[in-house]
A and B are shown apart, each in its own frame.
Chain A
Amino acid sequence: MEIIEHYLYTKEHEWLDLDGEIGTVGITEYAQSALGDITFVELPEIEKEVEQFELLTSLESVKAANDIFSPISGKITEVNDELTADPGIINRDCYEKGWIAKIKISDDEETSNLLTADEYSNYLESLDRNGDGDSSDE
């Protein structure tokens, strides 16, 4: 399963790409494959303040709805409008073109609560061992 080396991760399968005070957020390969074909992305509001690990937005696939939690606290500066017309971008390219929102980070230190690529990779393996691997329906 693809994991990007320099991103940070959450146990809820969101990723964070840091660029100075701006963090870009998306969902991981694991999350998109578990959800299946994504049919709808509810984009968060620009200017909205979010807290780390609190609800950011939600995604829908044919038979699942999934809440997305913010990996970091801050103010939303930009959202990926292209997802409205074509939510499948996340299925095709979840780490680049399928980004969801950019957040102006309010507290750098919170990154210590996130997983590194290695830690996330180990976490995924532990899920597989517990038989919780593939949760897609069909």
Chain B
Amino acid sequence: MNVIFEKSVAGRQGFRVPDSDVPVEGTLPEKYLRTAAAKLPEVSELDVVRHFTQLSQQNFSVDANFYPLGSCTMKYNPKFTEKVAAMPGFAELHPLLPQLRGGEQYVQGALEVLFECERWLCEITGMQAFTMQPLAGAHGELTGVMLMAAYHKSRGNSKKYIIIPDSAHGTNPASAAVAGYEIVSVPSDKKGGMDIDKLKAALTPECAGLMITCPDTHGVFNSRIDEIARMVHEVDGIMYYDGANLNATLGRCRPGDIGFDVVHLNLHKTFATPHGGGGPGSGPVGVGSRLVKFLPVSRVVKRSDGKFALNYEYPDTIGYIASFYGAFGVILKAYAYMLMLGRDGLKATSDHAVLNANYLLHRLKGAYQIAFDRICMHECLFSAARQAALGVHAIDIAKFLIDKKMHPPTVYFPLTVKEAIMIEPTETESKETLDRFVEAMLEADELARKDPEAFHKIPSTMPISRPDETKAAREAKVNYFSSHK
């Protein structure tokens, strides 16, 4: 499909800028002006609408396709939450308004949303307080590690490294490194959980803490998690909970009750806010009592007269981690979702997410090698090693599913399992959809045995076949105008 610049015709314009109604014309000295207009496209409104509509139709999406991307929780995104976020009273609200004297009374509704959302998340996770500011999961991680550093500094601890299991998301070590810590990686045992003996060996007084996903990316809930927490606390380490997989344990277990000191959640996973093709996300961070005083400012407080206010007066705060109060539009959608589900709906969410994953695990374990032979949580992990021996790799199976109009699961992650295929169906999918997916996976396995060569030609039903990624990386053509002057 042509890029929009190739549809440009001099003289077209897709938006009418109003005529000026003021009797003056502003001028600037020439040295401050650009010499030529920016080369934006010149197209009509219909051109734009058709271009982006047609582009959108080249995407798979939760609205149109089963999307069992492991560790991403691609559940259905309710439509009514979009309506809420678009309400003018929220959408048109300027973030600096509460910083004017007398301005707070004009943002009471927005502050109530933030305050209540924090309270819900506290009760769901068992933490003492939340900051809604982090703008994505990775941003939450960085905030959490900064809180960890502030805690150790206040105690006069000299801490050097953070322990991270080898099954962790890449953002964990990256966030810890950005915050200035070294990383010590601990391997998993044969059942998929963290190897406790190896953890013991890695724990010294220089350990700042442990970052762990719970349940982890192997889809395993570590039954000894409270014991691990005790060990980490013995060296005055901080237990960090990566909430990427919270969707498995709502109402069954709260990180605050089993020894975690910091958690980050991904509202775009568990709380159904749209992934948007890769953001915007939202990664609120919750803390236990020891870390509350370090939370970033501002914080939303409820005054004795029932009014909400922003408070900046926390002497031990780590400071400012975002320009304002978080991805407010996203938080609003998550809040509306929690109100819809309520206590029982949240618990049912995890029940069905885990049921659906175990159903897939059992239906597929004959054809695909399972990574760990046990009940899984909200996602199940396979290896395509058997198929790979025939020349059909996890990526080939992924492409096969695309031709079946299903989005592939996560492949080649976690790094601990060769030819990994990680499937997270979520609670919002029906048994019929799961059965169709199983059929497609079984068909792929059969084809791998009969005609492995056939995989080289797929996908064949999409606008494009497999792209040449080497060429893309070598040439790095990332700007239309550098190759089309």
Footprint of B on A, CB under 8 Å?
Answer: 36-37, 39-40, 60-63, 87-88, 137-138
Contact B470 A37 (CB under 8 A): yes
Could you mark each residue 387-401 of chain B with 1 if its beta carbon is under 8 Å from any beta carbon of chain A, else 0? 000000101000000
B183 CB to nearest A CB, Å? 15
Question: Within B338-394, which residues are at the interface with A (CB < 8 Å)?
Answer: 393
- A40 touches which one: B393, B395, B412, B473 (CB < 8 A)? B473
Could you mark each residue 470-485 of chain B with 1 if its beta carbon is under 8 Å from any beta carbon of chain A, else 0? 1011100000000000
Known: A60-B473, A62-B469. 9 other contacts (CB 8 A): A36-B470, A39-B470, A40-B473, A61-B470, A62-B472, A62-B473, A88-B474, A137-B395, A138-B395
Contact B412 A39 (CB under 8 A): no
- A137 touches which one: B412, B470, B473 (CB < 8 A)? B412
A76 CB to nearest B CB, Å? 24
Q: Could you say which residues of chain A place their CB within 8 Å of the CB of B395?
A: 137-138
Q: Could you say which residues of chain B place their CB within 8 Å of the CB of A138?
A: 393, 395
A39–B474 CA distance with the chains assembled, in angstroms: 5
Q: Could you say which residues of chain B place their CB within 8 Å of the CB of A37?
A: 470
The 5 closest A-B pairs by CB, nearest first: A39-B473, A37-B470, A62-B469, A39-B474, A138-B395
**Count of chain A to chain B residue pairs whose CB atoms are closer than 8 Å in the complex:** 22
A82–B474 CA distance with the chains assembled, in angstroms: 14
Could you mark each residue 317-344 of chain B with 1 if its beta carbon is under 8 Å from any beta carbon of chain A, else 0? 0000000000000000000000000000
SS class, residues of chain B in contact with chain A: helix
B187 CB to nearest A CB, Å? 14
CB nearest to B395 among chain A residues: A138
A82 CB to nearest B CB, Å? 14
CB nearest to B412 among chain A residues: A137
Q: Could you say which residues of chain B place their CB within 8 Å of the CB of A87?
A: 474
A6–B469 CA distance with the chains assembled, in angstroms: 36
Q: List 11 A-B contacts (CB under 8 A).
A: A36-B470, A37-B470, A39-B474, A60-B473, A61-B473, A62-B472, A62-B473, A63-B469, A87-B474, A137-B395, A138-B395
Contact B470 A62 (CB under 8 A): yes
A62 CB to nearest B CB, Å? 4
B418 CB to nearest A CB, Å? 9
Q: Could you say which residues of chain A place their CB within 8 Å of the CB of B472?
A: 62
Q: Could you say which residues of chain A place their CB within 8 Å of the CB of B473?
A: 39-40, 60-62
A87–B395 CA distance with the chains assembled, in angstroms: 25
Q: Could you say which residues of chain A place their CB within 8 Å of the CB of B469?
A: 62-63
CB nearest to A86 among chain B residues: B474
A132 CB to nearest B CB, Å? 10
Question: Within B437-485, which residues are at the interface with A (CB < 8 Å)?
Answer: 469-470, 472-474
Q: Could you say which residues of chain B place their CB within 8 Å of the CB of A62?
A: 469-470, 472-473
Q: Could you say which residues of chain B place their CB within 8 Å of the CB of A63?
A: 469
A54–B395 CA distance with the chains assembled, in angstroms: 35
B476 CB to nearest A CB, Å? 9
Q: Could you say which residues of chain B place their CB within 8 Å of the CB of A36?
A: 470
A87–B476 CA distance with the chains assembled, in angstroms: 13
Could you mark each residue 149-171 of chain B with 1 if its beta carbon is under 8 Å from any beta carbon of chain A, else 0? 00000000000000000000000
CB nearest to A36 among chain B residues: B470
A24–B439 CA distance with the chains assembled, in angstroms: 55
B145 CB to nearest A CB, Å? 23
A68 CB to nearest B CB, Å? 18
A62–B472 CA distance with the chains assembled, in angstroms: 9
A121–B469 CA distance with the chains assembled, in angstroms: 32
A40–B471 CA distance with the chains assembled, in angstroms: 11
Q: Could you say which residues of chain A place their CB within 8 Å of the CB of B412?
A: 137
CB nearest to B473 among chain A residues: A39
Question: Within B391-415, which residues are at the interface with A (CB < 8 Å)?
Answer: 393, 395, 412
A39–B473 CA distance with the chains assembled, in angstroms: 6
CB nearest to B388 among chain A residues: A134
A61–B470 CA distance with the chains assembled, in angstroms: 8
